[in-house]
Amino acid sequence: QVYITKIKQLLKSNNAVLIAHYYTDPEIQALAEATGGFVGDSLEMARFGNQHSATTLIVCGVRFMGESAKILTPEKKVLMPTLEAECSLDLGCPVDAFTAFCDQHPDHTVVVYANTSAAVKARADWVVTSSIALEIIDHLDSEGCKIIWGPDRHLGGYIQKQTGAEMLLWQGECIVHDEFSAQALKQMKHLHPDAAILVHPESPASVVALADAVGSTSQLIKAATTLPQTKLIVATDKGIFFKMQQMVPNKELIEAPTAGAGATCRSCAHCPWMAMNGLKAIYTALAEGGQQHEIFVDEAIRVKSLVPLNRMLDFAA
């Protein structure tokens, strides 16, 4: 409570706004909402930060989200609770190796997920998020493009199946979604035969195959409201439960099981980097700022990465 009061004061005095991802902890999402900030997916966060009048953005999420905000609004100060909040997809797609891969296939259109570094985005023709990836690949396929897709192999494979597009896939994965287990999910469904299964497409194909609804965070929240079932088994980061439960207060939400549930799972369905966005860290970012918290992007890289990022935003508009 002490931090909440101080953060509210600092947001006002710094002309700052909190922008939080659905995967951050409930207290962070609640604070963003209570202070006129925003909670959403990475596409919506980028749009909100771009359009808001605040001169400082506090981006609560993982590093690429802060970078995207800085690429779009270089005139604003972009702070993060911690710059150590990484993403396994970003880490699994180093710019040198990815550039070499692209250079081997110069006739391919390079499409990268927003979950990448600014340098990787700068090498791309298009940036996409999970909420718009299917439409953009469908569009590129209809124009006869051959596609390089990076970094999430599960999402890439899902889109390839849905669209029939010709795609070369980088072999990255999200440590949260990669852990969902089809076998354990089948057992859970057996216990709750009346439940609908909602799955994020960063999950393995065997898990996606069991789904009643497949989609990005915002699409899964929408599906929760439209599906007739009152029990929902949800296979994505458990941070989503805060917003989903707000939207469907009378439905029962059940966490989908991970393969190594308990002591051995890598993430237990909550991103360890998203979990670093605590109240104390937000307070420190606002009170102290500086190299520990502020996002900077090399100007040459920023200008290049802005092109594919804007292409996505224009397509989504």
Residues 48-67 that bind ligand MLT (CB under 6 A): none
Choose one: 50-58, 125-133, 256-264, 277-285; the region binding ligand MLT (CB under 6 A): 125-133
Reported as type and span, the H/E element at residue 91 is helix 88-91
**Residue closer to ligand MLT (CB basis): 81 or 215:** 215
Q: Rounded to the nearest whole angstrom, what is the least distance from the CB of residue 174 to ligand MLT in the complex? A: 8
Query: Nearest 5 degrees, angle CA 74-CA 29-CA 290?
Result: 40
Choose one: 1-9, 39-47, 281-289, 293-301; the region binding ligand MLT (CB under 6 A): 39-47
Choose one: 126-134, 206-214, 226-234, 278-286; the region binding ligand MLT (CB under 6 A): 126-134
Q: Rounded to the nearest whole angstrom, what is the least distance from the CB of residue 144 to ligand MLT in the complex? A: 27
Q: 84-123 mask for ligand MLT (x: CB under 6 A)?
A: ------------------------------x---------
**Residue closer to ligand MLT (CB basis): 132 or 286:** 132
State the Cα–Cα distance between residues 126 and 109, nearest whole angstrom.
Answer: 8
Contacts for 108 with CB less than 8 Å, ≥ 6 apart: 102, 145, 146, 147, 148, 168
State the Cα–Cα distance between residues 308 and 121, nearest whole angstrom.
Answer: 7
Q: Is 203 in the site for ligand MLT (CB under 6 A)?
A: no
- Exactly one of 42, 117, 267, 284 binds ligand MLT (CB under 6 A); that residue is 42
Beta-strand (E) ranges in the chain? 16-21, 38-40, 56-60, 77-79, 109-113, 126-128, 147-150, 167-169, 196-199, 213-214, 231-235, 252-255
Q: Is 131 in the site for ligand MLT (CB under 6 A)?
A: yes
- Exactly one of 160, 216, 277, 284 binds ligand MLT (CB under 6 A); that residue is 216
Q: Is 178 in the site for ligand MLT (CB under 6 A)?
A: no
Residues 279-308 that bind ligand MLT (CB under 6 A): none
- Exactly one of 217, 267, 277, 284 binds ligand MLT (CB under 6 A); that residue is 217
DSSP state of 163: H
CA 195, distance to chain mean position in Å, is 26
Contacts for 215 with CB less than 8 Å, ≥ 6 apart: 130, 131, 198, 200, 201, 222, 223
Q: Within 128-181, where are the H helices?
A: 133-142, 153-163
**Residue closer to ligand MLT (CB basis): 24 or 129:** 129
Q: What is the DSSP string of 211-226?
A: -SEE--HHHHHHHHHH
* Coil vs helix vs strand at 80: coil
Q: Is 267 in the site for ligand MLT (CB under 6 A)?
A: no
Residues 230-249 that bind ligand MLT (CB under 6 A): none
112: nearest Cα among 128, 94, 135, 130: 128
Residues at the site binding ligand MLT, with contacts judged by CB under 6 A = 21, 41-43, 114, 129-131, 200, 216-218
